Every structure is written in structure tokens, then in C-alpha cells.
Structure 1
Amino acid sequence: MKIIFEKTSIEKLKAQAYIFLCYEDKKLFKEELRLIEELLNCKIAGISLEDFEGKEKQTVLVYTDKHRIILSGLGLKEKLTLEKVRKATARGIKKIKSHKIKTVAVEILQDLTLKGVEIEDITRAQTISSLLALYSFDKYYTKKEDQEIHYIREIILFSQYNSLGKYAKEIQEGIRTGTIIGESTNMARDLGNEPSNVMIPAELARRVMALAKLNKFSAQILNKSQIEKLGMRGVLSVAQGSEHQPKFIIMEYKGGKKNDKPYVIVGKGVTFDSGGISIKPSAGMAMMKLDMGGASAVVGIFNAITQLDLKLNVIGLIPCVENMPDGKAFKPGDVIKAYNGLTIEVDNTDAEGRLILADALSYASKYKPAAVIDLATLTGASVIAIGSVASIVMGNDQKLVDEIIKAGDQTYDRVWQLPLWDEYDKMIDSDIADVRNSGVVKQAGTILAGMFLKRFIGDYPWAHLDIAATAMRSSETDYDPKNATGTGVRLVTQYLMNEGKKLKK
């Protein structure tokens, strides 16, 4: 996909369709229509707009004698947000993508009334939402008519105001960074959507190695015997019921100074979660191929930060397993020893993600990190707690949590904080080991999972992102598809971009 900024006048654009963003305010709406008529030398007045009034969620395709024009509503100007710009842009793209159009021109919204939002931010947001709206996963269809085909090969961002020409450098940077982040999010979606008979631990490891060769990071894959030597019994126990051996993936990006402390990003990589001996109900189990949402996000993040050339050192850790029932599978009542030496009573084999994260998070201490962030589709309880509107964040360092919340607000890949109060800690005490992997009471399931992870944190700032509610969807939204969403890529990449900017000051 090619996305460019064109400073030339609109009549010289070689586009087959034009997308304009319209306010609901009657005066502004009428002014926009008049301006479109002047710019494109066409008549919209008198053409049916199908009750289009510029309201949020409204989109209409208009045919004039010369042009295809898509109008997408922003709602009232006084209530404008950057997310409404994203959604209006995405709806416009989706409206036209099934038509046989290769080049579409998209209006850059020039509105400097958005607090703290620069033209580069607007351009990045529109670029990302355009790419996310075009996503489809149809590689396994054998009939062409079943595939979701879009013909768009080029998006031209333009402005109806000549004044935007002076912001050309900022607009170009917004397109560059937006393209990288959008494509990296779609990469994470692809990984998550692969069927679990294809995306086994060895296949994910293979794809990471292939990606490392194309980008500026190194990768190391630890096999079962190496994992055994390290004493990562959490990873090994979860994997022992599967015929597919575990992998522990280490990614390393050296964009900062040699002695700069690295940021460590950890992703839960359960390529399929049957629940093990504590087997899940059959309804919805097919979606458990998406239980590697954290791992796919880490891969997408690394694809993004290396191309963005961030001046940071970043480590990626992915414990990768398949959780299956078998005669050799681990069982409720087992006691296992994690990498840091703590013993864990297994109460529920379907609470396996926290076991492999326990090893990875304690292993992260060896890097003496500036901060550690883990992403995991960890608890179904998170869906009950706050629904699929946002991910959940918890941590031991409020400054880090606040920075993640800020990045979430910037990208709309949002998070909501839950507490890790001491009173919750006793709820995961075990009678026979240091800790048990599920609570003794049936409450606060998401928090108790966070409290479990906290037991394995070293001396570093840490934030846990439970993305179980947001990494997969049962139906599409304006720019999120059904199934894998790539949640976490935009959020953590933005956080790291913000950290990189701090170092420049």
C-alpha cells in the first residue's frame, strides 16, 4: 500500500474517488459542500445524500457526472476528538474499498482546535485508521468470490487549504510513522488469525527469525533442552501435554546507547489453549488460537520500533507453548518451581498463561531493565470487569502506569487501571507451596492474576496489560476486524516513542 501527501491543487490529483470529512453543524456542513463543488467543479446540490447530515457514523457515496465522492461524518465540531477523525476516515475507506478503485484521495482534517494535537498526529491517525480499515485475512479461501478483495493500491492525502503546504514535513512524518504502525498492527493480526495447526510454537519462532533478518534486531530461539537448563518449569509444565515442544523467543533491538537500560516487552505466547486437564467448554474454544495475542503484539511492536529507528534499547521475551490435555499433561495439584525458585501449586491448568509469564518476568531481571511491560490475554474475568472497550493495566510503579495510560489515550488503544492492593495477595496463598495459580475465593479474578505475576517481578518498574477483552472480537468495528485486532501494538509503540522523545531532550 502506497500512501503519499500531495501538495498540488485538488484538480490535478489523479484519484478515482475523494473522501471528505464533514461536520454536523449546519453552517459548516453547507460550507463544506460548496467548497467541494468549487474544488471538483461539480454539483452536489440536488443529488440525494440519503439523509446524510455529517453526523457521527454517517457515510454516503455520491456520484456526480465526473467524480465519486465519499462524505463521512464527524459530528459536531465542539465535540470533535482525534478518535472521531480516525473513525470517519476508516468509514470512508471501507465505503469505497469494494469498488474497483485503485487510487483514493483522503482529505487531511485541518482543525487546530484539538488540544495537544498537531497536524502530524492527525495525519498519523488518518494513515493508521486507513490501513486498519483495509485489513482482511482470507488466505485460506480457495474461491476468489469468498475473498474480501479491495482494489485500493494508493491513498493520496490532500488538503483543500493551501496553508497545509507549510506543514509538509510534519505531514510526511505522520504518514511515515503511521504507515509503519498500521502495517505492524496488521502483521500482529495476521499472526493471531493463523489456525493453530499452522501457528505452533516452532512456526512462530521461525517467523520471528525471518523478520529479524529483514529488520534491525537480533533473535534467539531457546529450545526445550535450553529451557530445561534455565529451570523454567512454568513453561515446561504447560507444554508437556502437547506434541509441540516449547520455545522461548528472545528479541533484541539496540537503538540506544550501549549503557542505556533496556525496556523489556513480554508477550504471552499460547498458540492454542484447550485449558489442559481443566479443559474449556467446546463453545468458543476455536477462538483460543488467539491466546497468543500478547506474543503477536510483541512481534508487531518490534517490527514497528526497528523501522521507526527509535533511540532505545528494547528486549522482547516470548514464552511460547501449546496447552493440551494428555497422559503427560500437568495436573491440578501439581507443584512446580519457576525460574526464580518460587514454588507454585497448580490449582487450575487453564490458568496457564501466568505460569509461563512467571518464568519470563523473572528472567527479565537479568537485563536490569528501565521498565518491563507484559501483554497477555490472561483472564476472561477482564471481559466481565470492564468489557471490550479497553484493556486493563496494573503495575508496581504509578509513573510507568500513568505513561501507559497517556499512550493509550493518544492512540485510543486504551487502558483502565485496576489496583494491586496488599489485601488481594493473601488470596493466592497456598497450603503446600509459595503461591497457587488461582485464587482461593471466586472474586477479583483479573486482579488476582496480576497479584500472582507480581510475586515474580524483580527490582524494576513493571506494568501488566491484560488484553483478553480487546485482543479478539466477535464482530468488526470501524477499524477493528472480527477476530484478531492487534491490540497493544499501537499502545506500546506510542509509549516507546514517547520515551524516545524524552531522551532527546
Structure 2
Amino acid sequence: MKFSIKSVNPEKQRSACLVVGIFEPRRLTDAAKAMDKLAEGYISTLLRNGDMEGKAGTTLMLHKVPNTLCERILLVGLGKEKELGDKEYRDSIRAAFKVLNGTGAADAAVFLNDVSVNNRDIAWKVSQTAIVAMESIYRFDQLKSKAEEKKPHLRKVTLGVLNGLQPELAAGEEALQQGLAIADGMKLAKDLGNLAPNLCTPTYLAEQARDIAKAHKLKVTVLEQKDMEKLGMGALLAVARGSRQPAKLIALEYWGGAEKEKPVVLVGKGITFDTGGISLKPAAEMDEMKYDMCGAASVLGTLTAVAKLGLPVNLIGIIPTTENMPGGNATRPGDVITSMSGQTIEILNTDAEGRLILCDALTYAERYQPEAIVDIATLTGACVIALGHVASGLLSNDDGLAAELLGAAERAADPAWRLPLWDEYQEQLKSNFADMANIGGRAAGTITAACFLSRFTKKYRWAHLDIAGTAWKSGKEKGATGRPIPLLTQFIIGRALKTSPADLKRND
């Protein structure tokens, strides 16, 4: 699907389908008014007759509207004008593209970017339109023997702007490219998350990282077991002991900023399947544990988006990846292991494995002398209980970094919520036999998991995103969501905007 943005009057636009908005109750947007005037009141007459109220997310397709140059006009409900916020706007865009994809229209002109969304500029609306539109055509059917028949679908989308000035159009064009890059990163992450765990192994993730590095001229390093043994990564290797699949530690380096600029490091949890190990999970819904590598997928997706945009930043992605399986050689509850940092850990529950692979990756990241580190992990079921499937959990040892991430989350419409990281919670990790235990009990499980990680991040600014509730959906719509790639990419875009273009070293 190809996108473009241009300043054009809707009544002069030739298109297989032209999309305009309707506010509740039966109020036409400026673009809809222009089309109604051209059609000599045809649209307003339909609304008065009760064909549509304008409720958010509702649609009405009109064919052969008098005097118009388009084959169809799609009316999209936007709800009450004063209440049009992020959710209502995105829902309306989603509804529009659901209908468009079900028609034979090969192209469409969408005039929904001029409506006023609370505290949002045209760049935000354009970016969100691109992301939602690309999400609407996402399918994962490559593992089916017979793919479902594909109906004719959109090949070209024009985002129309009424009376657009050059600065506004330029901002819209930049936002469009950002939205499409984010959508590409999300597609990659969703494909990896949805892939069966017998196919998406640690070795496969390493191969994908090499392919991304080749496509975007990045540096890639893949550590094998013997390399990790030399570095003393006892925590990561302890998780891998029960699996026949070899563990990997993947590092991707994007150097788009100044040579002396310290990089931001993203660390993604890459458990390609999590049985719980000896502390075996219940059988129900265990198939969804293939999504325990969505943190790793989000790192690969974000690096892809950043590389496509050519942002003037230095960015490192680190992915510790393994399976967590039971077996004769698997780590047991009661074992004491030594992490790369030298700190010892008593294993009380082998199903709290994500923090073990992350802690060694966080120590490994020190070699890059990072400006900041953000780790991303489907870490705790407790986060789902606390925040549901709406917001990712955010914990940090630095208020400025936390504020930066929350700002990016708000801008990207990819919500996060900060939880406390107080010293009082560290008490729950006390062990009689090691420096710390790997769990702190049922109470405040998301916080104590972050407290565990914080013990390995004292040398730099660090934040932790718990995406257990946001990385995938269960039930009828089961599948990876691609979150929090919008948040992470917006975070990096924000940093790029603060960077001087002088003396930059590009990846070419």
C-alpha cells in the first residue's frame, strides 16, 4: 500500500473511494460539507433521513453520488466533536480502512486529517493514520497450507489536507514516513511473535538479526555458549540448561549519530518458549508462551524503524535469547548461580527466568558506556493484573528518563504507566543463601522484578518496560500487537530532534 499526502479540495479529487467524516449528531466536517454542496445536498438529506448519526466508528458507503468525480464516498462517524480524542480518532480510522479493504477500490482519498483532535497536530494524525491503516491489512497466514483467498485491496492512499500550507505539508510528509517506518517495525515484531516456537528459536532470531544488519548496514555480534561462558554469564546460561536449543546473545549496533555521542541501548527479553522450567506452568494457554520473546522482537522492530528513517542517533539493541525448558540438566529451585556481575542469585522459582537472562545482558551493555538503557520484557503476570492490557508498566532509576519515555508513550498513543521503585521493596528479595533471590513473593510482583533488575543497573540511567499485558492479545484475536514499538521509536525520534546535524557519522 502506497501513501501520499497533498493539499487538495475533495470535490476535485478523482478516486475509487473518497472518505469524509461525520460528527454526532449528523454534523458534516468541512470536507463532507464540500462534497455535500457539490452533490446538491445529497449527503445531508441522507443524514436527515436517519441513515447515519455520526457515532464514532460507524460507517456508511455511498455509491454514485451525484456530480462527484469519485466512484464511492465513505462516511465515517467521528462521535461528538468536542469529545474527539486519541481513541475515537484511531477507532474511526480503523473502521474506515476495514470497510475500504472489503471493497474493490484500488485507491482511496482520505479526508480525516483536518478534524480537530484534542491536543493533536496534523503530524500526529497523519502518523497514526498510516500505522492504523497498515495494521488493518496485517495477516499472518504463512504457516497455513492454503492461504485464504485475498479480495482486491487498496494499493494507493492519498491523505488529503484542506488548504494545506507548505510547512504543514512538510510536517505531514515527515510524519507519514515515520508512521510507515513504525508500521514496518511492528509488522516484523508481529511476524516474529506469531511464528511457531519450533520455528522461531534463538538461532532463528540470530539469523533475523543478521538479515536486518545486512539490509541496513548495521554491525551485528552473536555470542555463542562458549563466548558467554568466558564472560561469566551464569544467569543467562542457567536458564538455557534445560533446552536443546543453543542460547544466543545478539547485539545490533546502529551508529547514526556523532562519534562521541553515547548510545542508547535497548535490551529485549528473548525467551522463545517458556514452559516455566522445573517450576512448570499449567497446560492451559501455555501455547501463548511463544510470545515471551516479544521484548526481543520489539528491539528488532525498533532498530528496523530507526534505520529506515536514518535518524541521527547511536542505538544499540541487545537480545539475550533462549528457551526455558524442563530437563535432566535444567536449573532447579534451590540452585545458586553467579551472574556476569559477580552477584549470586538463589533460584526460588525457575519460571522467573526472564530477569535472569536480562541481568546478564544489562551487565554486558556496560561495555557500550550507554547514555541510557531501556529493557523491554514480557516479565510478570502481575503487570497484567495491575494494568490490564491497556498500559505497559514503566519503572526507572531516573526521573528524567522516565518522563521522557512517558512523553513518548503519550505522543505515540502507546500508553505506559510508571510504578514506584522504592528501596523498601528490595527487602522482599533477601536470601539466606545468596546475594538475592530471583523472586520476592506474590505482593508487588512487577515492582520486585524491576527491583531485581535494578541491582544490575547502578552504573547508568535505566528504565524497564513490562509489556506482559500489551505485547499480545489472547482469545479470538490471539496474536502479537507490535507494542511497544510506537513508544520506543517515538522515544528515539524525540532524541533525534535534540541532536545537532553537525559532524554526524552515518551508516553508509
- Partner of residue 486, structure 1: 482
The separation in 1 between residues aligned to 2:483 and 2:164, in whole angstroms, is: 35
Q: Using a 3 Å threshold, how does the CA distance of structure 1 residues 219 and 94 change in structure 2: closer, same or farther?
A: same
Give the corresponding residue for 2:208.
207
Aligned residues between the structures = 496
Specify the alignment match of 1:152 in structure 2.
Answer: 154
Change (3 A) 1:34 1:169: closer
Which residues in structure 2 correspond to 1:5-404 (within 5 Å)?
5-11=5-11, 13-26=13-26, 28-29=27-28, 33-38=32-37, 43-45=42-44, 47=46, 51-64=51-64, 67-111=71-115, 114-115=118-119, 117-145=120-148, 151-159=153-161, 161-163=162-164, 167-404=168-405
Following superposition, the deviation at residue 154 of structure 1 comes to: 1.5
1:335-388 CA distance string (max 9 Å, x none) = 111110111111111111000001011111221211100000000111111111
Distance 1:233 1:89, change over 3 A: same
Measure the CA separation in 2 of the matches of 1:45 and 1:55. Answer: 16
Tell me the equivalent position of 2:3.
3
What letter is aligned with 2:111? E
Deviation at 1:148, TM superposition (A): 6.2
The residue matched to 2:113 in structure 1 has which SS?
A: coil
Change (3 A) 1:326 1:73: same
Distance 1:371 1:133 in 2: 34
Q: Which residue identity does 2:61 align to in structure 1?
A: L
Which residues of structure 1 form unaligned runs of 5+? none
User: Is the contact between residue 106 and residue 154 of structure 2 (CA under 8 Å) also seen in structure 1?
Assistant: yes
Q: Which runs of 5+ in 2 are unaligned?
A: 502-508
Q: CA deviation at 1:158?
A: 1.2
- Contact 2:250–2:319 (CA<8 Å) still a contact in 1? yes
Q: Is the 8 A contact 1:42 1:64 kept in 2?
A: no
- Structure 1, residues 110-163: CA drift from partner, whole Å, max 9, x if none? 146743x33222211211121122212111222243x6656122211113x234
Q: Displacement, 1:272? A: 0.7
CA drift of 1:45 comes to: 4.7
Corresponding residue of 1:498:
494
Give the direction of change, closer, same or farther, for the CA distance of 1:201–1:11 in structure 2 (3 Å limit). same
* Contact 1:136–1:148 (Cα < 8 Å) also in 2: no
- In the alignment, the residues of structure 2 paired with residue 42 and residue 326 of structure 1 have an alpha-carbon distance, to the nearest angstrom, of 73
State the secondary structure of the residue aligned to 2:7. coil
Contact in 1 for aligned 2:10/2:35 (Cα 8 Å): no
Aligned 1:401-416 pairs, distance under 5 A: 401-416=402-417
Q: Which moved more, 1:236-245 or 1:214-223?
A: 214-223
* Distance across 2 between alignment mates of 1:30 and 1:373: 42
Equivalent position amino acid for 1:143 in 2: K
Q: Distance in 1 between matches of 2:289 and 2:426?
A: 28
1:6 partner SS: strand
Aligned to 2:449: 449
- Residue identity (%): 39
Mapped partners of 1:181, 1:394: distance in 2: 24
1:84 alignment partner, SS class: helix
Alignment partners' CA distance in 2, 1:460 and 1:16: 54
Task: Determine if contact 1:353/1:376 at 8 Å carries over to the other structure.
Answer: yes
Question: What TM-score, normalized by structure 2, do the two folds share?
Answer: 0.92
Name the residue aligned to 2:429: 428
Distance 1:56 1:201 in 2: 43
Q: Distance in 1 between matches of 2:167 and 2:434?
A: 65
